[in-house]
């Protein structure tokens, strides 16, 4: 086993950290308060090549494998404090770019992927509905066949990037009698009649990442806007989730490293009772536990990425990674706040925001409870 990054990957890490620190953290406290998405940061990341990391070079992407992508996103999470921007980039990559690259035909790939890679287009997918969250395939959205296409009706909620989306991959059922086998993915462009961005949603964390409901009312799309083929929606969604559950938490490794280094520095500098607080066993223990969680999270996530790179389908390992990394990150945020005491609770120290941003990781891309159900299924339960 080789646990080392290559020289090229280490160089990429260093360049991303420097780029992120210098160009992505401006006015973050104010932007979080105003729930303001950073278009400037989005464009800078696209120009650097972040959005195009996993996309083939023929469409303007970096052609990176999944482990190199994890390496890059970990670095981005370390250097960039704007977790909302990172979350929007992840949603864009895994819910639109990967489906287009994996299931799109030549015309669809050429039409959308270059613009998604360049940041000109923002892509999303629309699966979650008011009545179907964890039970993802219990959709009420319907797509009725017409001679020259389909008519979509339904409402989608908790859709990241919805207010700024240029193209949506929307999942709807063509034949309810077939259950999940009747779900189909449709490409819907901004401005299509019958497609509207409805209620903007306010959130506890990830406030710089916009979210809204989408409504489809007699929304007509041509037959060529089917992604893959009719009835392939379940496979498209599952494939994108495999990528997402591995990669979306790579930035959390970077956040956990940042929290550890920040807490260690504070524990060294902060004096109480005539000595640095890091010399007290209660504080030293928290630092050690943060280190253990970070190292364990890395190994779990890297293994899932390695298996995917080998052509495997690491559903089990991705579920383990999603569960462990999300919960470990939250605990490290709590420890960082406790180490900083009252200062950790203050907005100016920017640690309380890390906690708010991290909590959603136990919910999106399948809750921790759903991941544990997946794991139990591997044991016949």
Tokens (6 digits) for 120: 């000109």
Please give the Cα distance from 71 to 3 (Å, whole number): 12
Catalytic residue among 74, 129, 220, 244: 244
Instruction: Report in angstroms the alpha-carbon separations of 199 from 163, 203, 212, 213.
Output: 9, 13, 5, 5
Please give the Cα distance from 91 to 321 (Å, whole number): 18
SS3 (DSSP) at 123: strand
What is the radius of gyration, based on Cα positions, of the chain?
21
Please give the Cα distance from 88 to 97 (Å, whole number): 13
- Angle between the 281-309 and 250-269 helix axes, to the nearest 10 degrees? 160
SS3 (DSSP) at 367: coil
- CB 336 within 8 Å of CB 264: no
The helix or strand, by DSSP H or E, that contains position 24, with its residue range, turns out to be none
Catalytic-residue membership of 295:
no
Please give the Cα distance from 253 to 143 (Å, whole number): 40
Residues in the chain: 381
Strand positions, DSSP E, the chain: 123-126, 142-146, 149-160, 167-173, 183-189, 195-200, 211-222, 226-227, 271-272, 275-276
- CB 128 within 8 Å of CB 136: yes
- CB 124 within 8 Å of CB 165: yes
Enumerate the active-site residues.
Answer: 244
């Amino acid at each position: 086993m080789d646990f080392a990054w290559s020289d090229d990957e280490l160089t990429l890490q260093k360049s991303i950290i420097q780029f992120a620190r210098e160009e992505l953290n401006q006015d973050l406290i104010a932007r979080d308060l105003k729930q303001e998405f950073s278009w400037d940061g989005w464009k800078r990341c696209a120009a650097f090549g972040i959005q195009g990391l996993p996309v083939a070079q023929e469409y303007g992407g970096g052609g990176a494998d999944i482990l190199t992508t994890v390496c890059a996103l970990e670095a981005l999470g370390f250097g960039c404090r704007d977790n909302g921007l990172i979350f929007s980039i992840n949603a864009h990559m895994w819910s639109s770019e990967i489906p287009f690259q994996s299931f799109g035909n030549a015309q669809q790939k050429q039409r959308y992927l270059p613009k998604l890679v360049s940041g000109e287009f923002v892509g999303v997918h629309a699966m979650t509905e008011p009545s179907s969250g964890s039970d993802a395939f219990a959709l009420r959205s319907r797509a009725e066949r017409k001679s020259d296409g389909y008519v979509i009706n339904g409402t989608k909620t908790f859709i990241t990037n919805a207010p700024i989306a240029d193209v949506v991959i929307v999942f709807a059922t063509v034949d309810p009698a077939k259950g999940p086998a009747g779900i189909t993915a449709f490409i819907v462009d901004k401005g299509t009649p019958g497609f509207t961005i409805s209620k903007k949603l306010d959130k506890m964390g990830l406030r710089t990442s916009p979210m809204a409901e989408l409504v489809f009312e007699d929304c007509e799309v041509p037959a060529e806007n089917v992604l893959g083929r009719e009835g392939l929606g379940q496979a498209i969604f599952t494939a994108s989730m495999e990528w997402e559950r591995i990669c979306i938490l790579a930035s959390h490794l970077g956040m956990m490293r940042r929290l550890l280094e920040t807490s260690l520095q504070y524990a060294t500098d902060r004096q109480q009772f005539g000595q640095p607080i890091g010399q007290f066993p209660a504080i030293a223990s928290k630092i050690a536990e943060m280190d253990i969680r970070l190292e364990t999270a890395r190994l779990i996530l890297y293994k899932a990425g390695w298996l995917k790179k080998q052509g495997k389908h690491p559903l089990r390992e991705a579920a383990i990674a999603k569960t462990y990394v999300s919960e470990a990150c939250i605990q490290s945020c709590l420890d960082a706040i406790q180490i900083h005491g009252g200062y950790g609770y203050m907005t100016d120290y920017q640690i309380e925001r890390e906690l708010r941003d991290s909590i959603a990781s136990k919910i999106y891309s399948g809750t921790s409870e759903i991941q544990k159900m997946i794991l139990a299924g591997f044991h016949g339960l």
